[in-house]
Amino acid sequence: MGKRKERAATAIKEAKKSVSFAKLNNVPTSPRKMRLVADMVRGMEVFKALGTLKFSNKEASIRVEKLLKSAIANWEAKNERKAEAGELFISSITVDGGTMLKRLRPAPQGRGYRIRKRSNHVTLYVDTLNNNQN
């Protein structure tokens, strides 16, 4: 690796050390269904978001709730203190498409219809309110 790329890589690593996030890969639901849940909690305070996810009737909300708890735990581990109400919020949450399992379903007259079983990747960033304003 060249010096310029090495310096850029170390700068990215240092920037990631100050950011708390959690990532969930290969969730077996479609990205469209997961984005409905992600849009519901984007920008919310974390404990309010946990309550919203707990009482949501979407199946994807269970996975996002677990991911949010993981992101809070990561923030607590990096800052060596417990999160307080009103302090943390979801700075960004992204849902990207994952791998697609392609299956065939029998159709009339010897044909086959393709079924695409979609998956997604969810990345959730947690930050304090005063860090985002600077």
pLDDT of 36 reads 97
Q: Is 43 left (phi over 0), alpha (psi -120 to 50) or beta?
A: left
- Degrees, nearest 5: CA angle 83-89-93: 125
Q: Tell the CATH superfamily of the 20-133 domain.
A: Ribosomal protein L22/L17 (3.90.470.10)
pLDDT of 134 reads 46
Hey, CA dihedral for 51, 77, 83, 16, is it positive or negative? negative
* Residue closest to 46 by CA, chosen among 61, 24, 68: 68
**Domain spans in the chain, listed from the N-terminal domain onward:** 20-133
**pLDDT tens column, 77-112:** 998 889 888 889 999 999 999 999 999 999 999 999
